[in-house]
Amino acid sequence: MVADEENLSEATSQNPILQSSDEGNSDTALGGSSRESDRLEESLVKQMAAKAGLTEQMKAEDMMKWVGLMNNIRNSAQEIVKNR
């Protein structure tokens, strides 16, 4: 489990969206549409899950582990969107 958390941390730190400047995000930062925020969150979750190696195979083999990691990723993505 520790290796998965390290992979998640590494994936988060290497994500180009998370490292980009706030250019073009002023709408969301200033209370832009919920739809925009939802799309950004969804995109972040997909990218972070892919970087962390979360697959349908992992979901089938160890659903509790997959759910826990996805919850962590979703919470991180929500925080990122909230802070923008």
* 44-83 confidence digits (pLDDT tens): 999 999 999 999 999 999 999 999 999 999 999 999 999 9
Tell me the pLDDT band of 84, cut-offs 50, 70 and 90: confident
Percent of the chain scored above 90 by pLDDT? Answer: 58
What separation in angstroms does the CA of 41 have from each of 61, 64, 83?
26, 22, 12
Q: What is the mean pLDDT of residues 6-32?
A: 51
**What is the spatial distance between Cα 64 and Cα 73, in angstroms, rounded to a whole number?**
14
Phi, then psi, of 68 in degrees rounded to 5:
-60, -45
Residue-wise pLDDT for 42-52, tens only, equals 999 999 999 99
